[in-house]
Structure 1
Amino acid sequence: MIELRNVTRVYGHGESKVVAIDNVSLDIATNEFVAIMGQSGSGKSSMMNILGALDSPTSGEYHLSGTSIQQMDDISLSRIRNEKIGFIFQTFHLLPRLTALENVIVPLRYSHYTPEEALEIGKSMLDKVGLTSRAHHKPFEMSGGQRQRVAIARALVNSPKVIFADEPTGNLDTKTSYEIMDLLVSLHQQGQTIVLVTHEEDIAEYAQRIIRMRDGKIIEDTKCVA
C-alpha cells in the first residue's frame, strides 16, 4: 500500500535549514493498522504530511497504492487525496454551518455522484459510525466524540485506500478517546488500512505496529502483542 524509499524532507536553506525527514524507507501493507509516535520535532507530522500527499519529499520515492507520488503537481495530488485518502484530524475540521450529513458528503462534491446518491452514501456512513440520529445536527449541537465520528464518516465516504488519523483523540476525554479507537479498530477489522499519529502510548497500543521517530529517522519499528 505505502512504499517510501530513501525519503528526505528539508525545509529552509543555509543556517535555517531543517531536515525534518532524514533518508527514511518504510513499507506499510494493505489492511495494516500502524501508529507513528515521537516527541515534538521528531518528524512524525512531516511524515504524515508526506504520506497524506499534503507535502512532497525533497528527495526519494513515494508510492501509494502503486502510484508514484513524489513528482505530482498540486492538481494531481488533490485528486489522489480525494480518491485514495481519508483524513481524520485532532480538531475535526467540520464546517460549522453544515449539518453532520452535509459535512460527510463534502468530498463527494468533487466526484461523479448525483446529489441524491451522495446523500444516500452519506447516510450509510453516518450509520456505520453510529450517528444516524445526529444527521441533521450541526457541529455545535454535538459532543466532541460525536463530531469526531462525523469526521470519521467523512473520511470513509470516498472508500479510501488508507485513512490517516492525526492525533484523532487529542481533543477528547479518556472514555471518548477509547470509544473512537474502538471504532477505528472495528474499521480496521473490516479491511481498512489505517495510519495513526499519536504521542499517547495507550492510544498507540490499539495499532498492530508502532513506528517511533526521532530527529527525522525511524528509530524503532515493532509489532504489538495481541
Structure 2
Amino acid sequence: MIRVENLCRTYGAGETQVIALDNVSLHIKEGEFVAVMGASGSGKSTLMNILGCLDTPTSGNYLLSDESIKEVHDESLSAIRNKKIGFIFQTFHLLTRLSAQENVALPLRYTDMPKQQASDRAMAMLDKVGLQNRAHHKPFEMSGGQRQRVAIARALVNNPQVIFADEPTGNLDSKTSHEIMELLCSLHQQGHTLVMVTHEEDIAAYAKRVIRMKDGVVIEDSGC
C-alpha cells in the first residue's frame, strides 16, 4: 500500500537549513493500523504530510499503491488526495455553515457522482459512525466527539485506500477519545488501512504497529 524509500525533507538552506526527515524508509501493508509517534520536531507530522500528498519530499521516493508520487504535479496530487486518501484532523475542519450531511458529502462535489446519490452516500457514512440522527445539525450544535465522528464519516465517503489521522483525539476528553479510538479500531477490523500520528501512549496502544521517530529518523518500528 505505502512504500517510502530514503525519504528526506529539508527546509531552508545553509546555516538555517532544518532536516525534518533524514533518509526514512518504511513499508505499510494494506489493512494495517499504524501509529506514528514522536515528540514535537521529531518529523512525524512532516512524514504524515508527505504520505497524505500535502507536501513533497526533497529527495527519496514515495509509492502509494505502486504509483510514484515524486513527479506528480499539483493537479494530479489533488485528484489522488480526493480519490485515494481520507483525512481526519485534530481540529475536525468542518464547515460551520454546513450540516453534518453536507460536510460529509463535500468531497463528492469534486466527482461526477449525482447530487442525490452523494447525499445518500453521506447519510450512509453518518449511519456507519452512529450519527444518522444528527445529519441535519451543524457543527456548533454537536459535541467534540460528534464532530470528530462527522469528520471520520467524511474521510470514509470516497471509499479511500488509506485513512490518515493526525492527532484525532487531541481536542477530546479521555472518555470521548477512547470512544473515537474504538470506532477507528472497528474501521480497521472492517479492512480499512489506517495511519495515525499521536504523541499519546494510550492512544498509540490501539494500533497494531507503532513507529517511533526522533530528529527526523525512525528509531523504532514494532512491525520490523
Q: TM-score under structure 2 normalisation? A: 0.99
Report the CA distance between 1:15 and its aligned residue.
Answer: 1.1
Letter in 2 for 1:172: L
Where in structure 2 are the equivalents of 1:46-57 lying within 5 Å? 46-57=46-57
What is the distance in 1 between the residues matched to 2:115 and 2:191? 27
SS at 1:72's partner residue? coil
Where in structure 2 are the equivalents of 1:133-148 lying within 5 Å? 133-148=133-148
Report the CA distance between 1:67 and its aligned residue.
Answer: 1.0
What is the distance in 1 between the residues matched to 2:67 and 2:146? 34
Where in structure 2 are the equivalents of 1:22-41 lying within 5 Å? 22-41=22-41
1:167 corresponding residue in structure 2 = 167
Letter in 1 for 2:195: V
Report the CA distance between 1:72 and its aligned residue.
Answer: 1.0
- Residues 1:156 and 2:156 are matched in the alignment: yes
1:88 corresponding residue in structure 2 = 88
What is the distance in 2 between the residues matched to 1:188 and 1:18? 35
Q: Greater CA deviation, 69-78 or 182-191? A: 69-78
Letter in 2 for 1:182: E
SS at 1:164's partner residue? strand
What is the distance in 1 between the residues matched to 2:199 and 2:104? 27
1:12 corresponding residue in structure 2 = 12
What is the distance in 1 between the residues matched to 2:212 and 2:42? 9
1:190 corresponding residue in structure 2 = 190
- Residues 1:69 and 2:69 are matched in the alignment: yes
The C-alpha deviation readout for 1:112-131, integer Å capped at 9, x for no partner, is 10000000100000000000
SS at 1:202's partner residue? helix
2:123 corresponding residue in structure 1 = 123
Q: TM-score under structure 1 normalisation? A: 0.98
What is the distance in 1 between the residues matched to 2:198 and 2:120? 33
SS at 2:31's partner residue? coil
What is the distance in 2 between the residues matched to 1:184 and 1:202? 14
Where in structure 2 are the equivalents of 1:207-218 lying within 5 Å? 207-218=207-218
- Residues 1:45 and 2:36 are matched in the alignment: no
SS at 1:153's partner residue? helix
What is the distance in 1 between the residues matched to 2:60 and 2:73? 16
What is the distance in 2 between the residues matched to 1:125 and 1:133? 12
The C-alpha deviation readout for 1:89-147, integer Å capped at 9, x for no partner, is 00000000000000000000001100000001000000000000000000000000000
Report the CA distance between 1:71 and its aligned residue.
Answer: 1.3
SS at 2:4's partner residue? strand
CA RMSD, Structure 1 to Structure 2 (Å): 0.9
What is the distance in 2 between the residues matched to 1:105 and 1:70? 30
Letter in 2 for 1:103: N
SS at 1:47's partner residue? helix
What is the distance in 2 between the residues matched to 1:222 and 1:186? 21
SS at 2:182's partner residue? helix
Q: Greater CA deviation, 25-34 or 61-70? A: 61-70
Letter in 1 for 2:211: I
Percent of pairs with identical residues: 69
Which ranges of 4 or more aligned residues in structure 1 deviate by more than 6 Å? none
Report the CA distance between 1:6 and its aligned residue.
Answer: 0.5
SS at 2:45's partner residue? helix
SS at 1:192's partner residue? coil
- Residues 1:102 and 2:102 are matched in the alignment: yes
5+ unaligned residues in a row in structure 2: which ranges? Answer: none
Report the CA distance between 1:152 and its aligned residue.
Answer: 0.1
Report the CA distance between 1:66 and its aligned residue.
Answer: 1.4
